[in-house]
Structure 1
């Protein structure tokens, strides 16, 4: 998901119909947990949140914790609905450059930006019952036709970059992967392994709680992951409402 925020000019607020803002709003009450736990020669990091510099796990906080680790093995446990593409890209770069052997464990869901963070690891293990999702980047934009074409070109470049990551891991062609991204494809653990996104399937472990997220912003969520919407959170609500109101007033 591409999470730079601009707003189309409309007479009525569009927040409820905007998938980017819905994903952030509906999951902001979930606990943030880029927590590091250490044992003798292994460290476990948890990416159990949306990837977002305001309402979830930021690249700054994640990478600073990662940089402090010198254990031979890092177990990166993932249960995330996705988030900001550029924050995720910074996390990917840090993981690839780290000297430790990184094992990604998809405990619940690795959706959107979380999917290519998983693929930055040296090994990918997905729990039986977990899901892996890939799709094309989203954004919100305003402006004239030239502005919109420029943004569309940027989105194409981002999709191409992400497809390269998927191709490097799976060995599949970029055209095939871009078609899967266009369709917003959700993969079971077995499908993720068969297609090369995961190296192996683990017995259920971690939380394996993919249904904790409100994924209604996405179009093709499997029934196994649908759940009643979480109640509106009180924490940070006033700040979020001010941010939403600002988005509605961007256009002159």
Structure 2
């Protein structure tokens, strides 16, 4: 069963209003109901969210961590802010084109200096609690997690994997096959048989076609010869382009 974490992450009341208005959003009650329907069967959580309410994200994270069945998390677009917290709730994979963003908790407040000092302490405490999600997933220290948050860090799939924030990069095996094919092309003996620059190729063609005794004078031989020269020319252009 697929569970989608899309759009803004909201509390239940705001989430139902957003949904009624047709906006893409995620809220705890919606996820909890889907988990009940899954009833212990394996689930795949697909995340593409800019974040939102950190308490709603914490509730969703906790429900996923406590789910009795297998949880696989796929980050397909961006798992930012509160969305990155949810991404820490299970075994995770990330698209090579996706990103994770982690940063400090923020809020709005008003009042005198005592209110501002109090708000600052609340935010620092919230940062500590959110850092736990990254620490539990990766084994990194609190200081390392808070540094990532302080720097408002955007992470590619490769960097996220290096830090342990994800377990796999999607399609990585397919990418390796493609790179291997390129490597085989590089090692092909034809690559080393290139003896002509484009200018040399033209001169060679002209000389051979003007030579009545040359075996390529038949049309079939001419076609075969042109095909051979095109292949050599292509390899030469690849070398010029920097593929070593």
Larger helix fraction of residues: 2
CA distance in 2, matches of 1:142, 1:111: 26
User: Who is 2:156 aligned against?
Assistant: 188
Structure 2: runs of 5 or more not aligned: 19-24, 173-244
Is the Cα–Cα contact under 8 Å of residues 99 and 157 in structure 2 kept in the other structure?
yes
How much has 1:167 moved relative to structure 2?
Answer: 1.2
How much has 1:95 moved relative to structure 2?
Answer: 0.8
User: Who is 1:93 aligned against?
Assistant: 62
DSSP 3-state at the match of 1:198: coil
Structure of higher CA gyration radius: 2
The one of 43, 47, 51 aligned to 2:5: 47
After TM superposition, the score normalised by the length of structure 1 is: 0.61
CA distance in 1, matches of 2:58, 2:82: 8
How much has 1:81 moved relative to structure 2?
Answer: 0.5
How much has 1:165 moved relative to structure 2?
Answer: 1.4
How much has 1:148 moved relative to structure 2?
Answer: 1.5
Q: 1:129-168 maps to which residues of 2 (within 5 A)?
A: 129-168=97-136
How much has 1:71 moved relative to structure 2?
Answer: 4.3
| Alignment length (residue pairs) | 161
Is the Cα–Cα contact under 8 Å of residues 10 and 52 in structure 2 kept in the other structure?
yes
* More RCO (CA 8 Å, sep 6+): 1
Is the Cα–Cα contact under 8 Å of residues 93 and 166 in structure 2 kept in the other structure?
yes
The one of 57, 60, 81 aligned to 1:112: 81
The alignment yields a C-alpha RMSD, in angstroms, of 1.3
The one of 47, 58, 69 aligned to 2:27: 58
Is structure 2 residue 129 aligned with structure 1 residue 171? no
After TM superposition, the score normalised by the length of structure 2 is: 0.63
